[in-house]
């Protein structure tokens, strides 16, 4: 069964996955979905208007080259109007997501459509399983966790350790936090192996029930590995502990750009010297680097330049970044960023 949409998404609305067309339901509802270059051309109104006139019946009495000229002109016109449509206008910062603007520009930015209420309603309807967390792709969890563990190992090899401590066997980090943790897939899958103590931030209580009372977490609870559990959205969470590692995966799309910037700034104030804020997220790959709003879980999928702009605005520098390898090709690329205060 396929569930949970913000985690992993096919980048092509026409691709097949798990036996049914990915996002076919979105197409039928006529929503924007995930714009790929192919989809953008399909959606071009100018081309649609001109095409039957030019090449359909009855034909316009024009030579083929004239028809082609008109066709190219209409495509350019569409491109121009789409650039205008994507030029945002600055709006006042506001904690109400529905009126918050994009940092990157002005106008009706995709993140202005985010509704935390809708998001929580959606996530409450998802089953508390890895399948639920990963939108019907539970099979990629192992490779995802492996990729994250390797990334952290590489980071730690680069970092300074007290003299005499071998870089191949660094001590556990003092405290990590799994943000937008869901059922604690990442905590159980690798954070407990790299940190003494792991806190959890997750707004949906039925997900954290597994962590606080579920059998699968019993060993970690007994070992004292699970710290505080905060049932809050990241937009409402202010860290009150010092962290060596603040892990954010497949959840920051639930925040507007302004909320994400403010949240990252709050995290930076509680980051241990030499610690990292990690953001691991899907990337939008539209030609013009637009973020894409998903009305199913009320989230945005950001482009790499927009992520970088938000990090910069939050006074964070990227100290390491890489694309997660080994995921199915029809999914959006997933990038992992390690951030530290500038
Ligand atoms: C795709 S799941 C990812 C869970 C986990 N990070 C993982 O990779 O297994 C997205 C999670 O974000 C949570 N979420 C929704 N809105 C959020 C918000 N405003 N702040 C933090 N997390 C949120 C959902 O409840 C859900 O658990």
Output the DSSP codes for 138-165. Answer: GGGHHHHHHHHHHHHHHHHHHS---TT-
Q: Which residues line ligand 1 (CB under 6 A)?
A: 4, 6-7, 116, 119, 123, 133, 180-182, 185-186, 202-204, 207, 233-235, 249-251, 254-255
- Please say whether the beta carbons of 198 and 192 come within 8 A: yes
Pairwise CA distance, residues 339 & 342, whole Å: 9
**Amino acid 165: pLDDT:** 65
Placement of tokens 């939050």 in the chain: 314
**Amino acid 180: pLDDT:** 98
Pairwise CA distance, residues 54 & 63, whole Å: 10
**Amino acid 77: pLDDT:** 57
Q: Which letter does DSSP use for residue 10 in this model? A: B
Q: Which letter does DSSP use for residue 76 in this model? A: H
Q: Which two tokens stand for residue 238?
A: 């202010």
Nearest ligand 1 atom to the CA of 144 is: 8
Q: Parallel, antiparallel, or unpaired for β 243-249 and 173-179?
A: parallel
pLDDT below 70 — which residues of the chain? 1-64, 67-68, 70-107, 161-168
Distance 201 CA to ligand 1 centre (A): 9
**Amino acid 36: pLDDT:** 23
**Amino acid 231: pLDDT:** 98
Pairwise CA distance, residues 192 & 188, whole Å: 6
Give the 3-state secondary structure of residue 198: strand
All structural domains of the chain? 16-112 (no CATH), 116-341 (3.40.50.150)
Pairwise CA distance, residues 114 & 334, whole Å: 21
| Beta partners for residue 282, in sequence order | 334
Distance 112 CA to ligand 1 centre (A): 19
**Amino acid 164: pLDDT:** 64
Pairwise CA distance, residues 317 & 341, whole Å: 6
Q: Parallel, antiparallel, or unpaired for β 173-179 and 334-341?
A: unpaired
**Amino acid 87: pLDDT:** 31
């Amino acid at each position: 069964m396929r569930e949970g949409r913000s985690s992993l998404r096919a980048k092509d609305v026409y691709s097949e996955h798990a036996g049914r067309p990915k996002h076919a339901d979105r197409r039928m509802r006529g929503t924007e979905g995930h714009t790929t270059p192919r989809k953008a051309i399909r959606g071009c109104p100018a081309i649609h208007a001109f095409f039957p006139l030019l090449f359909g019946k009855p034909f316009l009495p024009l030579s083929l080259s004239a028809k082609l000229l008109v066709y190219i002109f209409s495509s350019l016109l569409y491109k121009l109007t789409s650039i205008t449509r994507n030029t945002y206008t600055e709006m006042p910062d506001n904690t109400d997501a529905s009126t918050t603007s994009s940092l990157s520009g002005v106008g009706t930015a995709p993140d202005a459509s985010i509704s935390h209420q809708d998001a929580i309603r959606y996530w409450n309807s998802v089953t508390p399983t890895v399948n639920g967390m990963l939108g019907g792709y539970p099979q990629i969890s192992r490779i995802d966790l492996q990729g994250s563990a390797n990334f952290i190992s590489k980071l730690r090899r680069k970092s300074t350790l007290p003299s005499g401590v071998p870089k191949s066997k660094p001590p556990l980090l003092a405290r990590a936090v799994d943000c937008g943790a869901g059922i604690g897939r990442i905590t159980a899958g690798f954070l407990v192996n790299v940190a003494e103590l792991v806190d959890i931030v997750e707004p949906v209580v039925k997900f954290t029930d597994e962590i606080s009372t579920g059998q699968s977490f019993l060993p970690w609870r007994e070992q004292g590995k699970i710290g505080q559990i905060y049932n809050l959205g990241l937009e409402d969470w202010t860290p009150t502990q010092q962290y060596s590692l603040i892990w954010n995966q497949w959840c920051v799309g639930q925040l507007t750009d302004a909320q994400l910037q403010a949240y990252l700034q709050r995290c930076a104030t509680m980051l241990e010297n030499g610690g990292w804020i990690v953001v691991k997220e899907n990337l939008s790959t539209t030609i013009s680097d637009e973020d894409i709003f998903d009305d199913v879980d009320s989230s945005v999928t950001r482009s790499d330049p927009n992520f970088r702009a938000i990090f910069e605005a939050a006074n964070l520098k990227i100290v390491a970044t890489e694309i997660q390898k080994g995921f199915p090709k029809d999914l959006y690329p997933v990038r992992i960023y390690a951030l530290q205060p500038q």
